[in-house]
Copies of this chain bind each other. A is one copy, B any other.
C-alpha cells in the first residue's frame, strides 16, 4: 500500500509540472502517463479514472500557487485593498507565475462549460484565493472585506487575460490605468 501512495504522489507532482507547461485540455491518458514516467495502465491503477487524475493534479497546482503567493506576500502583511491589489497584480504578472494564471483561466473556462471536476475545483480555488487575501487586508472581517477580496481577484484575473491576449506590455498598461478606470 505504501508503494502505491508514494508512486501516486510522485505522479501527481510530475503531472502538475506537465500540465502547467502544456495546458489542461487535449490531454490524453497516454500522454499523461508518459509525462509521469509510468504506463497508462498504472495511471488507472493509482487513480480511479481520468477525472480523478485531473482533479488531484489541479489541486496540486493550486497548492503550488498558494505557496508561491505566500513566499511573495507573507501572511502577516496588512495592506489597503488598493495596495494589496497593486502588489498581488505585480506578483501574478511575473514570468514565474504567468503559467499558473494561464492554467487558472483554463480551469475557469472548463468550469464555465460546466465540466466536472472543474466546476467544483474552480469554486474551491476561488474560495482559497479569498481566504488567502482577506487576512492580508487592513480591514475588519465582514462583508466589506469579502467584497474587497473579490475585487482584488477580479483585478489580477483581468490583467492575466490581457497578458495572454496582448502580452505583458499591454497588461502593464492596463495595470497603470486601473485607478483611472475603476475609480
Taking Cβ atoms with an 8 Å cutoff, the residues of A that contact B are 22-26, 80-82, 85, 102, 105-106, 108-113, 115, 122-123, 125-126, 143-144, 146-148, 150-159, 161-162, 164-166, 170-171, 173-183
Q: Is the CB of B153 within 8 A of A123?
A: no
Contact B177 A151 (CB under 8 A): yes
Question: Are A162 and B182 interface neighbours, CB within 8 A?
Answer: no
B162, A154: Cβ atoms closer than 8 Å: yes
- In the complex, A150 Cα to B148 Cα: how many Å? 21
Given A22-B113, A81-B180, A182-B183, answer yes or no on A159-B154 (Cβ-Cβ < 8 Å). yes
Pairwise interchain contact B165-A122, C-beta atoms closer than 8 A: yes
